[in-house]
Structure 1
Amino acid sequence: MVNYLIFLPVGNNPSKPNWRSNYPSDPNWGSAMPTITWQVYRHYSDVQTLKDYYDHIVAYVKYLHGIYNATGLANFTVRFGDWIPPPPEPMTNGSLIGSFGFLRDVNLLINMSQNFYADGMQAAQVLALALPDVIPANVRGAVINQLITDINQKGNHMTTGIVSTAQIYPILSDNGHHDLALELISSTTYPSYGYMFNNPYENATTTWELWNTPLTGPAMNSHNQAMYGSVGAWFYSHLAGIDLSSNMITIRPRMASESKKHIMSKLDCQLSTLYGLVHVSYTRDERDTISNSILLRVTIPPNAQARVIFEPLFVGGQYKTLIEGNKVIWSSDFDTMNV
């Protein structure tokens, strides 16, 4: 059983807990409110407790944030600090200890929040996911789920603009939702790339600035908006799977899962690189439900090294045989390489 000192708010202000009645609590003591709320939720899955105290915790963290804005972490407020180290040892800098309580409460608030960023819309989730180390590892899954949920609620459509559309396809492909990315890029209903090229009003030959260009929009309404061409990078990096970021060329085509292979059953891609021309193509036999065969062709420039990475196309999937020409170069039955 963990005991906490509970601090009551001053008057009707839930954001400023006091120790006794005459001075504000130390941040590590005031942390009782968010800490207990979070632990009750963790142990009992008690969502109602989160709802009941969430606004109070937000107000409290805002109160501490106001102090931070005035003092910074170096001079952050403290009352007791690291209370009573063993004599004769001195106490560690109090502001360091106080700032720990503040930053810990911020992290708790992130965890107990609705687990999505800003207004919950797709752009906010995508841009947070696209930057490294922005989203704590323990809530990253919840942010991805919020993105997927919103896409599904919109009828499998994007609500992203020019900046976030450039990131949404790699985010989906890299986080286990490549099938959904393929469905988005294959859609012909509004709003989608396919709608630009297949609609009742004006079939585009280039990418628009506005998803609904034929209907209405502001004065800036380009019919040739290069920034929406950003999806082309995903064609090379994920659909063809060409990665030139190291001294070795990596070929790692992301393919639709077995249940969705009808979305994209073939690919043919050529990319001019500093090494020379890289050519990747594959064909999947949609009628072949027994062997699930894929014919992959890869051409690498002379004097260049490359590796090919395969990914399972269904849960628990394993590779049985790799054949080059008519020669078995690897088999799980023998687990040997015949080079």
Structure 2
Amino acid sequence: MDRPISSGTIMARAFLNHRDGTKGGIAERGITPAFAKRQQAQDSIFYYLTLGFALLVLVILGSIMASLIDGAWPAFATFGLGFITTEIWNPVTEQFGALAPIYGTLVTSAIALLIGVPVSFGIAIFITELCPRGLKRPIGIAIELLAGIPSIIYGIWGLFVFAPFMQLYIQPFLIKGLGPLPLIGSLFKGPPYGIGILTAGIILAIMILPFITSVTRDVFETVPPMLKESAYGLGATTWEVVSRIVLPYSRVGVTGGVMLGLGRALGETMAITFVIGNAHRISNSILAPGTTISASIANEFTEAVGDLYTSALIGLGLILFVITFFVLVLARLMLMRMDKKAGG
């Protein structure tokens, strides 16, 4: 009894015949030993070529890590763990501590995510679920154009336009309205400089907005329309469809978009250098000037005199590399936990 031929087999044969271009095609010709051997050789070449590309990434990553460790070793050998846990940064006395740049990097990135993620989700939901058809493309293009603006333009705009606006209107309002409150009041005390950690965080939020929005919108559009139409047919509201259908279905891609934005925020240099104030100190207030790892390296690397000074700056780069690595690992573990929970 002959086995029935599936539709997939028929389609595969038709495709091979079309691509082959000869009478009868590959699917209709007998596979000779020479042909099979040639195909096996091609598969082997393709396998080892792609394996080489994958290993090349690991080699480059390992080389970067090794060079950073070698360059940062004098600083860590001199200061030990105190290089990470102390705030002082004095090139004159050759006393270096990375705590202030680490604090500034983490706080500005957190502010950027707190502002940028909800706004990005709102834009993506509006474009995919609520926006009129004629406006989807213009709004999408406008959001994506934000990603093409150089970071130094964001920095110049932030220094000459946004920082004065913060100094005259936003920061005095925050100091007067939130400064007297318990618990969170200390975050909004001090003079309104205009520049500072909060200003840098808002600029970062604007910069990561197009990345998170674009990825989130594309992921939302992969949700099968039948699922959403079925939910609407059962009487679900738009919010219920988004929260119970769209977000659970696309949680992995959405998390990837957020991690992409976080990586952008952690490593941003020029825009932050313009608006953060570049002060090597830790303040309770997010209105005060501060610094980040990338801003410190950009500001001081060309002026570094002496091996220890240079090693301290390379040590900052190593710390940023480690922070980024652990952020990616935590994101991966979170995705694995989400997948396991969904499977259970």
Say whether the fold is shared (TM-score over 0.5): no
**More helix, by proportion:** 2
Higher relative contact order (CA 8 A, sep 6+): 2
TM range (shorter): under 0.3
**More strand, by proportion:** 1
